[in-house]
Amino acid sequence: MILINGIQEIVKSGAGQLVTWITELLPELFLFLIMLNAATSLIGRARVERLAAKCGSNAILRYMLLPFLSAIVLGNPMAISMGRYLPERCKPAYFASASYHCHTNSGVFQHINPAELFLWLGIANGVMAKDLDLFPLAIRYMAAGLLANFVSGYVTELVTRRVEKKQGIRLDRKVDLWVEKEGEAAAESASKATPEPAARSMAEPPEKRVTEHAVTTSAAASGASDSNRVGTPKGTCSKPGYHAITITRGDGGYGGPVTVTPTEERHKVLYMTGGGMEPEPLARIVELSGMTAVNGNLESCPDEEVALAIIDCGGTLRCGIYPGKGIPTVNILATGKSGPLAKYMTPDLYVSAVTPACVAAVEADGAVRDEEAEEDSNTLAADAKQAEAGSNSFVASTEEVAGSDTYAANAKQMKAGSDTFVANSKKAETCNAARPLEQILQPVLTVSKVISLFQQSAREAVRTCLEMILPFMGFAALFIGICKGTGLTEFLADLIKPMGGSLPGLMGLGIICSIPGLSAILGAGAMAAQMFSTVIGELIAAGSIPPAMALPALFAINCQCACDFIPVGLGMTEAKPETTQVGIAAVTISRFITGWIRILIAIVFSIGLYK
């Protein structure tokens, strides 16, 4: 009977806490996640990575701005991976700062580290119990963290230098982010060293030039119909006039890469977009593949002829209807796997957030065509044509048959050119007729894209809440129920109470938590910090500790932050083995050195808080 009553007390206490979080915190967190996801999609992670490469030369940018932005955009633990853009010598210091940023910003940006959000919520729960606003505490927690985390990072860099000397290791001072560009430059210089085809042909004997020209003329005559196709690039293709392409997802997109190989039976690109406007990547898809574009709003097209469908769907029926038919689908909006037909949206049939830069040609061997190589090949082809034109008169005077072949090829080319002119004229008339409609629909389509962006952001927020935040809240609420129901809270409160309510006590708690060796044990899963947070939150709610001490307490209970995660964290920065060896010692020592400094900074930032 006693056991049953104890279980009921645990469940009752935990359920009360869970209801409080769901009704008071979750709605605000959910709406904030929607706005943040939308902002992240607009900014793009690619821009953040470019910023990271520029932050390596300045300590303030390196240990304050870069980890702060990385934590907001990427969250924990991916924010740590941005250290890959820094020199080896700076990676331990970046980890020391970034791992703290995944906690000190939790009051405002609660999406950063939902798995360890209880470290913040434990003390925040005590402040809410006193009917006080959490926003001032959250803002000061973030502001104090910016300064304290910079101090932790910079001190870790100084300690890293000392550990380097002591262990006889010298870490790299520079980071090479341009290896690929250097390789491309070397390839370009090598190509320049090769004689140009035109120059080489002029330097060769006339007899050899005649032979080569005859072969070239024959090839040109046999492929004249293919080379005159509008928008069809030169290259190897599986069917005459058609070329395989591959499409990858854009920034914030889903799915892909999708490979499309048009055939004589399936050679049309069907686009179903708002107002019938041509989607941005359509021109490049047609240019590289040689397929025919069909406006689904104006024309009907059998599914058996559609090789690719382009849509601008925010997550309803169109996202899955074409993949359900086995038709590769491109969505120009950043829509993930959603809608009633989401089960058909597999990565090999669906790709979203597609821009022209996401479309590339595929060679016959399956390799994606390099743009520079394609441009060079086009240049060589132009030179070959020029050389061919220069030797036409010579061939005509020596071989009458070759002249007749050339005449026939030219006649075919003129006929194909006239057909192309007529087709382009009709297309121009259609575009001119549709231009007023496009001008009217452009604002509507812009609003539609914004709405779609927020819808997708809301779906991602729901997924985050269901898969990460709500399960964690359930665990944390049960943990609080166990602490209250078993009397563990009262026992720990008696131990921490003398330290939690005074500056010397918080200093002592921070020093104990950051002792090298012990910090790795206490840092495992942040369980010790979360337990201390629960107890201190209960003491604040009971009036044993003033609410103004909440901010210093948040720093004191977490001086051992991520000491159990150092090797893994440095691995995420792609650190070399010697960097990891130096970094483990450097971060552990710097945690012990800077723990009390961080608490002092928090004391200063808590002046005037909750008077």
Catalytic member of 237, 313, 561, 563: 313
Residue of 77, 57, 153 whose CA lies nearest to 586: 153
Write down the residue that tokens 């048009």 correspond to. Answer: 262
d(CA 452, CA 455): 5
Contact 184, 372 (CB under 8 A): yes
Q: Which of 4, 3, 26 is nearest to 477 (CA)?
A: 26
Taking the C-alpha atoms of residue 111 and residue 30, their distance in angstroms, rounded to an integer, is 9
User: Which H or E run contains 292?
Assistant: strand 292-295
For residue 607, what are the contacts with CB-CB under 8 A and spacing of at least 6?
none
332, burial (CB in 10 Å: exposed 0-12, middle 13-18, buried 19+): buried
Structure tokens at 235: 């290259």
The first and second tokens of residue 396, run together, are 């005509």
Instruction: Find, among 362, 312, 307, 360, the residue nearest to 333 by Cα.
Output: 312
- SS3 at position 307: strand
* Backbone dihedral angles phi then psi of residue 369, each to the nearest 5 degrees: -70, 130
Neighbour-count burial for 366-380, b at 16+ CB within 10 Å, e otherwise: eeebeeeebeeeeee
Cβ(524)–Cβ(533) below 8 Å: no
**What is the token pair recorded at 45?**
């992670």
* Short-list 589, 533, 594, CA closest to 559: 594
Angle (CA) 334 338 340, round 5°? 140
Q: How far apart are CA 187 and CA 348, in angstroms?
A: 33
Whole-angstrom distance, CA of residue 251 vs CA of residue 303:
30
Beta-sheet pairing, 359-361 with 306-311: unpaired
Tokens of 472: 């964690």
Task: Decide if 165 contacts 354 (C-beta within 8 A).
Answer: no
Is residue 561 within 8 Å of 100, Cβ to Cβ?
Answer: yes
Catalytic residue flag (residue 313): yes
Tell me if residue 259 falls in helix, strand or coil: strand
CA angle, residues 348, 352, 358, in degrees to nearest 5: 85
Strand partners, 306: 268
Q: How far is CA 481 from the centre of its chain?
A: 38
Among 106, 113, 116, 96, which residue's Cα sits nearest to residue 139?
A: 106
**Residue 556 tokens, joined:** 């004191």
List alpha helices for 75-178, DSSP H. Answer: 91-104, 118-129, 135-167
Active site residues: 313
